[in-house]
């Protein structure tokens, strides 16, 4: 137990009334006895009427405690320290790379070596072992989102069922079935190729941290036979004073070691005969003038690749098809990982089921166990998300000390028993947010170039589905997948700057306010819902 833990941070919260404390008690002009100015009134309005449990946590858990617990944390991806990195493959046209006839041609060129590209390349070979497939990766396979995510492998193809209901009501039921089948296929592939991805069908415990969320959980559970856990029953499952209720869904998620999944797919693709070049950014794609009649040409520093067909699996990075760039914006998400817990610390939080945990706030946290021979580690991520003006992507954005500190404060409030536990890793990564919050598709160049992007932070499972969609699109056949509305229709594009920045800032502020106003969606969020840019996971 921490000695310098503040009184009250670990206290029990009850299931009714607003969260402990109030905006007014946190030092507003009103509480100080001063006359509220128009400015302070606007600020108070923007802040929202009630503090959330996590606002309280930030007030009660000293930043100094969080800073101390993070002091030894390396700014690097935990997963990379616990997977054996495969040797880099030579760049296209470099010494050691394949040379001679056929080296610069392919039946199918795949640009991008994250999950989307790797699944596409592997499944293209599975569909037709004679197809000559070349994958071109700008850096190393799996270095980006696919190697640094939380490892929640969810069946949902639509970033949650209610988001699917909102954006694709007519086919949501079918999408649920396709998503479940896709998740089963991922598990089967991992098994088939012996991929050491620590796959575990863990299920997920969805947690209410605010009183109004308890009602939402009850509504969600009604008629399903699932039980909403509260009080002692909940604390027997995961011993936190912060959560008011929980609903366990055994099918909501599995968990994986994300990097090992990416590198395992890379190995499987190589063994299936896919040619892979790394450190090969594709600089441009020439669209043939006589659409459909000529192959596509991909420009790299080592020469051109001439491909009959191409798949663009470049996620958050600028698409080689310029008009697709307006559909996504990069948003940085962050995570921290604890040191291994001692057996006593482990026992203090229960969590025998070791399921993934996620709360119900608009800005939600994801928390998952990582079993190691040295003991249980815990990963906490999410909550803050950062967009940088001009859709910029920079390595320095992967580190946000303020967000890491905030996550550490929240962790100490979730598990006050672990307030002394230190963190060893802290990192972030960019997610390709689109306005409907799940992937969109494109087919161009006379049916020769397919793209998928827009996974918005839920792509561990959905990328395999997207790969299948793209292969179907390139087949020229009409299939069930090519006829889906979510495949034929694109989301609303983001406007240019400064409107994109202003819109994202306004939406973020509205989400924060909604969390502080018992989940009520204010005028801005309702307007976003009305135009088809709302999010309801
Ligand atoms: C911190 C974080 C946590 C997340 N947690 C989860 C989670 O728990 N569950 C979940 O489902 N999803 C999660 N996600 C999202 C998930 O990781 C992504 O949706 C998924 O990995 C996307 O895979 P991808 O292959 O499309 O993209 P990436 O993995 O980003 O791969 C794209 C690749 O394309 C390459 N590339 C780009 N442009 C070019 C070019 N011109 N030439 C050559 N190569 C190029 C890049 O170098 C990169 O390797 C998270 C993401 C982040 C960042």
Summarised one tens digit per residue, pLDDT across range 120-179 is 999 999 999 999 999 999 999 999 999 999 999 999 999 999 899 999 999 999 999 999
Q: Band of the pLDDT at 537, cuts 50, 70, 90? A: low
Q: Is the pLDDT of residue 33 over 90?
A: no
Token pair recorded at residue 293:
């009649």
Q: Is 369 in the pocket of ligand 1 (CB under 6 A)?
A: no
CA separation for the pair 123, 158 (Å, rounded): 22
Helix (H) or strand (E) holding 391: none
Q: Band of the pLDDT at 526, cuts 50, 70, 90? A: confident
Establish whether the linkage from the previous residue to 258 is cis, with ω within 30° of 0.
no
pLDDT in the model for residue 492: 95
Q: Band of the pLDDT at 329, cuts 50, 70, 90? A: very high
Which CATH class for the 64-82+204-249+329-433 domain? alpha beta
Query: Which atom of ligand 1 is least distant from the CA of 368?
Result: 8
Q: Band of the pLDDT at 425, cuts 50, 70, 90? A: very high
Q: What is the mean pLDDT of the chain?
A: 90
Residue 195, SS3 per DSSP = coil
The percent of residues above 70 in pLDDT, for the chain, comes to 89
CA separation for the pair 329, 470 (Å, rounded): 22
pLDDT in the model for residue 391: 95
CA separation for the pair 31, 38 (Å, rounded): 16
Sequence spans of domains, the chain: 23-51, 64-82+204-249+329-433, 105-194+257-328+436-488, 499-531
The percent of residues above 90 in pLDDT, for the chain, comes to 78
CA separation for the pair 269, 267 (Å, rounded): 5
The number of angstroms, rounded, from the C-alpha of 326 to the middle of its chain's C-alpha atoms is 20
Helices 172-192 + 258-271 axis angle, to 10: 70
CA separation for the pair 271, 458 (Å, rounded): 28
pLDDT in the model for residue 460: 98
pLDDT in the model for residue 162: 87
379 or 95, greater pLDDT? 379
Could you tell me the distance, in angstroms and rounded to a whole number, from the CA of residue 171 to the centre of ligand 1? 26
pLDDT in the model for residue 527: 84
Q: Determine contact, residues 21/51, Cβ cutoff 8 Å.
A: yes
Could you tell me the distance, in angstroms and rounded to a whole number, from the CA of residue 23 to the centre of ligand 1? 38
Q: Determine contact, residues 163/438, Cβ cutoff 8 Å.
A: yes
The residue to mutate among 122, 460, 469, having the most atoms of ligand 1 within 8 angstroms of its beta carbon, is 460
Q: Are strands 303-312 and 449-453 parallel, antiparallel or unpaired?
A: parallel
> CA separation (Å) from 530 to 117, 210, 359, 504?
34, 26, 25, 16
pLDDT in the model for residue 15: 35
Give me the mean pLDDT over the 22-49 stretch: 52
The closest residue, in CA terms, to atom 52 on ligand 1 is 149
DSSP state at residue 445 = T
pLDDT in the model for residue 223: 85
The CATH number of domain 105-194+257-328+436-488 is 1.10.3720.10: no
Could you tell me the distance, in angstroms and rounded to a whole number, from the CA of residue 226 to the centre of ligand 1? 34
CA-based torsion, 453, 458, 462, 464: positive or negative: positive
Could you tell me the distance, in angstroms and rounded to a whole number, from the CA of residue 352 to the centre of ligand 1? 31
The residue to mutate among 122, 146, 381, having the most atoms of ligand 1 within 8 angstroms of its beta carbon, is 146
Query: Which atom of ligand 1 is least distant from the CA of 335?
Result: 1
Token pair recorded at residue 513:
């306010």
CA separation for the pair 14, 227 (Å, rounded): 19
φ, ψ of residue 418 in degrees (nearest 5): -110, 20
Q: Determine contact, residues 278/75, Cβ cutoff 8 Å.
A: no
pLDDT in the model for residue 32: 40
Q: Is the pLDDT of residue 16 over 70?
A: no
φ, ψ of residue 53 in degrees (nearest 5): -60, -30
pLDDT in the model for residue 2: 33
pLDDT in tens, 338-395: 999 999 999 999 999 999 999 999 899 999 999 999 999 999 999 999 999 999 999 9
CA separation for the pair 195, 105 (Å, rounded): 30
Nearest alpha-carbon partner for 311 in 156, 123, 101, 88: 123
Residue 437, SS3 per DSSP = coil
The residue to mutate among 459, 462, 470, having the most atoms of ligand 1 within 8 angstroms of its beta carbon, is 459
Q: Is 382 in the pocket of ligand 1 (CB under 6 A)?
A: no
Q: Is the pLDDT of residue 25 over 50?
A: no
User: What is the 3-class SS of 448-475, one letter each residue?
Assistant: CEEEEECCCCCCCCHHHHHHHHHHHHHH
pLDDT in tens, 264-298: 999 999 999 999 999 999 999 997 665 557 899 99
pLDDT in tens, 501-517: 999 999 888 888 888 88
pTM beyond cutoff 0.75: yes
Count other Cβ atoms within 10 Å, centred on residue 214. Answer: 20
Say if 64-82+204-249+329-433 and 105-194+257-328+436-488 have the same CATH topology.
no
Q: Determine contact, residues 110/457, Cβ cutoff 8 Å.
A: no
pLDDT in tens, 460-516: 999 999 999 999 999 999 999 999 999 999 999 999 999 999 999 998 888 888 888
Give me the mean pLDDT over the 92-115 stretch: 91
Q: Determine contact, residues 416/241, Cβ cutoff 8 Å.
A: yes
pLDDT in tens, 192-218: 999 999 999 999 999 999 999 999 999
Token pair recorded at residue 221:
């559970």
Could you tell me the distance, in angstroms and rounded to a whole number, from the CA of residue 146 to the centre of ligand 1? 4
Write the DSSP string, 119-172. Answer: HHHHHHHHH-TTS-EEEE-SS-TT-SGGGTS--EE---SSSSHHHHHHH-TTTH
Beta bridge partners of 338: 423
Nearest alpha-carbon partner for 365 in 209, 518, 193, 169: 209
CA separation for the pair 477, 271 (Å, rounded): 28
Nearest alpha-carbon partner for 141 in 24, 253, 262, 254: 262
Show the beta-strand stretches assigned E in 290-411: 296-300, 303-312, 329-338, 356-359, 365-372, 375-387
pLDDT in tens, 42-68: 666 666 678 999 999 999 999 999 999
Nearest alpha-carbon partner for 257 in 76, 458, 80: 80
The number of angstroms, rounded, from the C-alpha of 220 to the middle of its chain's C-alpha atoms is 23
pLDDT in the model for residue 287: 72
Q: Determine contact, residues 507/528, Cβ cutoff 8 Å.
A: yes
CA separation for the pair 320, 23 (Å, rounded): 47
pLDDT in the model for residue 30: 33
Q: Which residues contact 333 (CB under 8 A, 6 or more apart)?
A: 381, 382, 385, 428, 429, 430, 431, 457
> CA separation (Å) from 268 to 106, 122, 168, 275, 469?
19, 7, 34, 11, 20
pLDDT in the model for residue 11: 32
């Amino acid at each position: 137990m921490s000695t310098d833990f503040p009184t009250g941070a670990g206290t029990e919260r009850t299931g009714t009334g607003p969260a402990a404390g109030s905006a007014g008690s946190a030092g507003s002009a009103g509480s100080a006895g001063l006359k509220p100015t128009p400015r302070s009134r606007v600020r108070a309005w923007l802040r929202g009427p009630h503090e959330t449990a996590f606002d309280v946590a930030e007030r009660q858990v000293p930043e100094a405690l969080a800073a101390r617990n993070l002091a030894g944390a390396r700014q690097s991806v935990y997963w990379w320290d616990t997977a054996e990195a495969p040797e880099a493959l030579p760049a296209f046209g470099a010494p050691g790379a394949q040379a001679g006839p056929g080296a610069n041609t392919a039946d199918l060129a795949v640009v991008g070596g994250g999950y989307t590209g790797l699944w596409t390349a592997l499944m293209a070979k599975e569909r037709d072992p004679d197809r000559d497939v070349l994958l071109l990766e700008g850096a190393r396979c799996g270095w980006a989102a696919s190697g640094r995510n939380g490892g929640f492998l969810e069946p949902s193809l639509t970033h949650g069922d209610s988001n699917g209901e909102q954006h694709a009501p007519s086919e949501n039921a079918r999408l649920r079935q396709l998503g479940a089948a896709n998740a089963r296929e991922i598990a089967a592939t991992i098994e088939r190729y012996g991929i050491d991805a620590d796959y575990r069908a863990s299920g997920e415990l969805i947690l209410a941290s605010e009183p109004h969320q308890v009602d939402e959980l009850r509504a969600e559970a009604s008629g399903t036979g699932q039980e909403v856990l509260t009080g002692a029953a909940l604390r027997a499952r995961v011993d936190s004073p912060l959560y008011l209720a929980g609903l366990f869904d055994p099918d909501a998620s599995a968990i994986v070691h994300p990097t090992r999944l990416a590198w395992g797919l890379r190995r499987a693709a190589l063994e299936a005969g896919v040619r892979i070049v790394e450190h090969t950014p594709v600089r441009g794609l020439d669209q043939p003038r006589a659409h459909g009649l000529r192959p596509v040409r991909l420009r790299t520093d080592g020469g051109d690749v001439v491909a009959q067909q191409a798949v663009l699996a470049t996620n958050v990075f600028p698409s080689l098809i310029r008009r697709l760039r307006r559909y996504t914006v990069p948003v940085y998400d962050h995570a921290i990982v604890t040191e291994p817990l001692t057996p006593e610390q482990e026992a203090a939080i229960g969590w025998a089921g070791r399921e993934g945990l996620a709360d119900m706030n608009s800005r939600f946290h994801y928390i998952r166990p990582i079993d190691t021979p040295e003991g249980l580690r815990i990963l906490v991520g999410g909550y803050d998300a950062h967009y940088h003006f001009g859709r910029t992507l920079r390595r320095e954005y992967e580190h946000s000390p303020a967000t890491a500190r905030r996550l550490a404060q929240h962790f100490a409030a979730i598990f006050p028993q672990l307030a002394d536990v230190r963190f060893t890793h802290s990192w972030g990564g960019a997610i390709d947010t689109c306005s409907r919050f799940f992937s969109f598709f494109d087919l161009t160049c006379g049916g020769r170039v397919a793209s998928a992007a827009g996974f918005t932070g839920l792509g561990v499972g959905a990328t395999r589905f997207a790969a299948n969609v793209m292969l179907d699109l390139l087949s020229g056949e009409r299939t069930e997948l090519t006829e889906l509305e979510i495949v034929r229709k694109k989301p609303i594009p983001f406007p240019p700057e400064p409107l994109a920045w202003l819109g994202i800032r306004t939406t973020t502020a509205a989400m924060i306010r909604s969390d502080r106003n018992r989940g009520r969606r204010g005028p801005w969020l309702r307007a976003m819902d009305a135009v088809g840019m709302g999010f309801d996971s």
